[in-house]
Structure formats: structure tokens, C-alpha cells
Amino acid sequence: MIILKSGNMEAKKQQEFEQAVKKILKLIGEDINREGLLKTPARVAKAWEFMTEGYKLDPKQVLNDALFESSNNEMVLIRNIEFYSMCEHHLLPIIGRAHVAYIPNGKVVGLSKIPRMVDIFARRLQIQEQLTEQIAYAIDDVIKPKGVGVVIEARHMCMEMRGVEKINSTTTTSALRGAFIKNTDTRKEFFSLINAGTDKRY
């Protein structure tokens, strides 16, 4: 997992966030003055600042900072990029992994930048379908490869902790561009590489 550096929340914003958490705790019937909850509002504010710091970062800038000329024209795949996000409908966790591939067209990007970009998008309120599209679009727009393939597999706590309560159900989404759509062999290679030795943890 790529760890992004957190900033410090402004004092006024911190105070407002803590007051909001206290209100929620009261509304669910808790005593905000009991020992176990005294520091909870501050902890929640800090946790949410970290979990949503993707709003403060530009994923395209991350990619642009590490572009290199290359004659390679074979598929580049980074598999099993673990991430977590927050469902925009219920503010509950999404836990999963992304598989990201592209075919260079004169340029490659530093390998660590793709997982970092995934984390930036994931650390915003999301739906999985949109997250998949955002990753594919950013790579296509910045690197301008011959093709892009993104597959995300994730578990949604809004399905497991509430609602249908289906434990271990997994949602898979994909976004394909260029050669990954036009070329059947490229598409088959991509999905074959993803599934090779896959450990189904999500």
C-alpha cells in the first residue's frame, strides 16, 4: 500500500469536524463525556483527513513527474494494487485491489507512480465504477499509450455490514481503452495475466 503524506487540518476546520462527530455520537445515543469517547472526535477528524486526502492531490501531476522516453512496446502490468476507499452513498469502506496495464507509445511512467495515482483517486468519496474509469482516463490522457486496461475487484462494506449483508461478495469492474478494446489477443493476454496465480482475498 502506498502511504501518502498527510497535512495538518486547519484549527477551525478541525473544531467544526469534532463538533460534527460529537453530534453524531449524541444522535446515536452515546454519552460523549464517557472516558472511551473523550478523544474520539479528534481521532475521527484526523482519520478522515487522511482517508480523503486525495482531494488535495493531482494524480495527473504525479504521472507527469515520472514520464520517460522508451522504445518498449509490450504490455506493462501492475497487478494487485491494494487500496481502500469510502463509498459515497453510505460513507462505509471499500476494500480491494486494482490491476492496471498499458501498452507504451514512446513513453513509460515510473512504476511506483501508478499505485500512487490509484491511492489518490481512491482517497476520495467514490463508487467503484467511477474509480475504475478515473484511473483509465488519467493514464490515457497523460501517458497517451496505445491502450489501457484497468480491472478493480473490491468488497463493499455497505453490502456486508448493512443492506443485503452478503459477506465476501466481490464486485469487479473494468475500463478498457485503445488496443485493449480493438485487439482480442491483447485483451486476452491482459485478463490471463491478471488471473494467473490470483489469490482471491477480496
Annotated active-site residue in 16, 61, 88, 129: 88
Q: Which of 30, 90, 130, 189 is catalytic?
A: 90
Q: Which of 16, 19, 89, 129 is catalytic?
A: 89
Of 78, 172, 76, 75, the C-alpha closest to 128 is 172
- Residue 128 appears among annotated catalytic residues: yes
Q: Which residues, other chains included, contact 140 with Cβ-Cβ below 8 Å and sequence gap of 6+?
A: 148, 177, 178
Contact, 178 vs 148, CB < 8 A? yes
Catalytic residue among 14, 53, 158, 160: 158
Q: Check 30, 49, 87, 160 and give the catalytic one.
A: 87
Told to judge if 16 belongs to the known catalytic residues of this protein, a careful annotator would answer no
Identify whether 87 is a catalytic site residue.
Answer: yes
Query: Is 61 marked active-site?
Result: no
Q: Is 165 a catalytic residue?
A: no
Contacts of 185 (CB under 8 A, 6+ apart): none
The C-alpha cell that represents 55 in the structure block:
482531494
Given the residues 18, 128, 134, 153, the one annotated as active site: 128
Question: Is 99 annotated as catalytic?
Answer: no
Residues labelled catalytic: 87-90, 128, 156, 158
